[in-house]
Amino acid sequence: MEIFKKDIVLETQKQLSDIVSSFEEQLKNNKWKVQSNVQNDQGILQAQKAGILRDVIAADRALTFTFKNEDGKLNVSVGVGKLLQNLGVAAIETILLSELFLVVDVPEILWTDHVETELIGQLKSIAS
């Protein structure tokens, strides 16, 4: 298990924008704060779970999903990244090429791994 970053490949015929939009809606319905940006065959989505303790300890952290669509295969990287204040303004190429993933403490790692696994399952369901 790679703790700080997970990479998955999904085979899909769906449009990237539709997948990200559906995933974003599902997260919002489960009380996540979400922001996303999709341009052509690349996308990024950040999701942050609200809570008093999480707001105090990790106010600038979010789960970050980066997407790259290549020949019917959707490459997705998931990890903990710094919450960008205005994702819509940031250039998608810069986001995908920069290192977004931070070192976090053990309880945060365990929570993140559990949540990533759950959300990756939801994403696989959406993409299929």
With cut-offs at 50, 70 and 90, classify the pLDDT of residue 92.
low
Q: Convert the pLDDT of each residue in 46-56 to its tens digit.
A: 988 766 445 44
Domain boundaries, the chain: 5-123
Higher pLDDT, 126 or 99: 126
Residue 86 has pLDDT above 60, yes or no: no
Q: Which CATH number fits domain 5-123: 3.40.50, 1.10.3470, 2.40.160, 3.30.530?
A: 3.30.530
Average pLDDT over residues 55-69: 73
Burial 13-32 (b: 16+ CB within 10 A, else e): eeebeebbbbbbebbeeeeb
Strands of the sheet containing 32-39, edge to edge, are: 5-11, 73-82, 61-70, 42-49, 32-39
Global pTM value: 0.72
Residue 16 has pLDDT above 80, yes or no: yes
Distance from C-alpha of 74 to C-alpha of 13, rounded to nearest angstrom: 9
